[in-house]
Structure formats: C-alpha cells, structure tokens
Structure 1
Amino acid sequence: MKSNYWEEIMKKLLIFTTISVAAFAAACGSSTDDHSGHDHGNTANTNAAPAGPLTLTNAEVPQRIKDMMAARGEQDAAAPQVRITAPVDGSTVESSTVRVQLVVGGDLKGYKPGMDPETKMGNHIHVILDNQPYEAYYNIDQEFELRNVPDGEHTLRVFASRPWHESYKNEEAFDVVKFTVKNGGANLDLPATANNGQQMSNANANT
C-alpha cells in the first residue's frame, strides 16, 4: 500500500516538474524573441542615415589667445623652417643616448624659440620620438639629447609651435628622420627621456 502511495506521489511530482519546465522554456523563448527583435530594431535605428547633412562651424578664438597674437606682431604670419641636422636620416647610432640638433630658419618675422622666465611660455619646437609624449624644446642653442633609447629603428619628428602649443602649418615647419640604435644597452624597464628628465616614451618594455 505504501509502495503504491509513493509511486503515485512520484508520478504527480514528475508531471508537475515537466509542466513547469515546459512553461519556463516557452516563457524564455518568447522573451528571447522579443529581445532579439528589439535589438534588431535598435541596430537598424543606429545604422540609419542622419536626418540631414552635418554642419561644421569654426569655434571662436579665445580672447586670451587673441591678445597674445596681437602682442606678437607679425610672428603668426611667419613661415619658419625647421630642419633636423642630427641624427642624420637613415643613420645608425651605437648608443642609447642620441644627440639632437636642429636648425630654425625661413621667413621668421620675429619668431624665435625661447621661454619667458615670468610666464614660462614662449615659442618652441615640439620634439616627438616614435609618436610618444613630446618635449617642448625652447632653446635650440642648448644641448638636447634623447636618453635610454632602446635598440631598433626610431622616428624623430619636430615642428615649430606657438606659445599656446598651436603648430605652424607651412610645410617647412615640420621635419622627420628615421634612425637606428644598435647595441645601445638601454634599460628596457625605464622610459626614454630627454636630458632634462622629461619622459619621451612609455616604458620601453611596452613599446
């Protein structure tokens, strides 16, 4: 008698479980279908063409920059020429320290790199090694070195800049060379730097 009783109970539990699982599966299927349809709708809306043409506008030059431009006379109309004389393009340097030399010429109209001791601003040359953090080079008559440069090919870029870091856009205001460091012995756990300590790269191990 007890055996039949428990068999009946087990049958009812099995039927209840089967019905519950089926109902849950149906609900999930319906939810998935609805969600999928909703996502497709969002995708279609996201990829839809804009309602009209995009309009670009020129932002107003900040008044502080206008004042600085006025105080500089004709310098903003200058066409500086910047040339890298060292390292020579295509050269090999057998040291992790690379000496950098620049020559600035052209139609300068008073443009000359240099930092104002009071404002800590001034015309300068941006020096960039391998698209890494740049150094603002203010006095091209002073020695400039790249230190702890790892072995391999490197790209050095320079361009003339205004005190507020806006570059000159004439073609000659920019120069680039490629050079190779061989057996330099750089510490790959440390970044490359300028001789003033300014970081010129992320950690060499990650470059």
Structure 2
Amino acid sequence: MIIEVLNTLGIVAFSVSGALKGEKHKLDIFGIVVLGVITAVGGGIIRDVVLNQVPDSIIQERDAYLAVFIAIVSYIVYHDKLEGKLSNIIKVSDAAGLAAFTVIGAQKGLGNDLGLLGVSIMATLTGVGGGVLRDMLVNEIPFILKEDVYAFLCLIGGGVYWGGIKLGFSEALMMNTVMISIFIIRIMAIMFNLQLPSKGRLKHADS
C-alpha cells in the first residue's frame, strides 16, 4: 500500500516536472507529454533493465496513463505568469519525485537481495534516471551533473534504507524517514544553494 502511494506521488511529481520543463522550452503538447512521461517512468525503466526485468511501467500501464494525464493537465493549467517561477517549481517537483522514487528504488533493490552498494545504485537510478533523460532531450546539462547534492541524496538515502532494514527497523518507518529527509534536505539545498565542493566553485570563492 505504501509503495503504491509513493509510486503515485513520484509519477505525479515527475510528470509535472517534465511537463513544466517542456513549457520552459516552448514545446508543443506532444513534446510536453513525452517529457512528462519520460521523466515519470524513465528512471524505473532504467533500473528494471539493469535488474534484467520487464519494467514495472510496462506491466502496470496505469503509471504511463497517469503520467500522460498529469502532463496534459499541467499543459492546460500553465499560464505565462508562472514563467519567472518555472525553475523553482520544477526543482520542488523534482524534490518530491526524487524522495519518493529513491525509496522505491531502494526497496526494489533490497527485494532483489542486493547489498548496500546495489541498493544505493538502484535508488539512484530510480531517483535521477528520468530527470537525466528529460534534460538530455531538451539539450540541457542534467541536474545531477550541475547540482550534485541531487544524486548524492539518492546514494545516501538508499544506503540508509538498506542499513535500517538490516538493523530490524520496520519498512514503513524507513520509507517515511528516508523520503521526508531527502525532500527536506533537497528543498534546503535549493533555498540556500547548497552544493558539494568542486575546484571551480573554490576558485570562484577565492577570486
């Protein structure tokens, strides 16, 4: 039940994120729907292919239909007054999708008897895969390459989930803890421009 709720949350959040990215690049409704669907189900497809499984979104077509519906609704309700706020709205939608899908990816990895690294990788692929595909389609540098906290949260979240389950904590507790923590930290990173250190940023700070 919890997984279904998280999956629906992730599909809605990422579909909105993809659709608004399409609006940002002035795409037509077909392009907006494509971006919405790719963002919503892309990470799960990549994860399942790596696990040598038929992707969940193909078996459960409801996810794809929901993503199409949400993308169309986003297209309809969008208006020019949101233009200046698009970047932040996309980031907040991404944060919600990231939190939900990181937990789903970790749970899927644990369900396939993967270890700490494997679970963390599945969490990361599920959390960021759709966003990477979306950004590549509109010829942007993916979030994970320019806002590195994004992927880092998935890796740590997956590891924390694995560790908590192995220590005997309940699945529901770990799901809620990891999801809420990732969302809050991601929002704080957006608000305060928190990023991991890099040579480029250090040089800029020294100049």
* Alignment TM class, shorter chain as reference: under 0.3
TM-score, with normalisation over the residues of structure 2? 0.25
Rg: which structure is higher?
1
Q: Which has the higher helix share?
A: 2
Higher relative contact order (CA 8 A, sep 6+): 2
Q: Which has the higher strand share?
A: 1
